[in-house]
Amino acid sequence: MPGYIGSFAFISLTGDLVTPGPKVEPIQRPGINGTAWRYLGSKGQSFTINTTAFITNSGDAGYQINYYQQSVGSELAMVDAIGNTWYIYVENVKSRQPKRVLNSNLGPGYLIESEWQIRMTGG
């Protein structure tokens, strides 16, 4: 099963997910025994996901890279290869020059490899 980020389909979506966790800070007051904890909410840490997309012609490959760039600053749903849905914030996308492939299971076309800098939002 392919992976998805928003409406973008990928034949490969790899990387280690960093799920958001609770952020707390200790509170200690002079003259009072013990420690209390204040909940600060949950915020995910930034991490990288690598994707590979297959596009049938070079013109569409250029448009696709442009669409990836336009998703920076957006909150999107990401579906991993086993079907789990995660909600993410796209911080940055870097795409390499499309590679032409002539003999693949999908026929001739172009592979777009991209590196997505994202963080989980918790949905």
Give the whole-angstrom CA distance, residue 14 versus residue 116: 10
Range(s) of the domain holding residue 53? 3-120
Residue pLDDT, tens place only, 52-91? 999 998 889 999 999 999 999 999 999 988 889 999 999 9
Give the whole-angstrom CA distance, residue 3 versus residue 21: 24
| Contact (Cβ atoms closer than 8 angstroms) between residue 61 and residue 70 | no
What pTM was computed for the model? 0.79
pLDDT of res. 31: 86
User: For 103-109, what is the mean pLDDT?
Assistant: 79
Q: Which two tokens stand for residue 11?
A: 């034949």
Question: For position 21, which CATH number holds?
Answer: 2.40.30
Give the whole-angstrom CA distance, residue 71 versus residue 12: 19
Residue pLDDT, tens place only, 35-44? 888 887 777 7
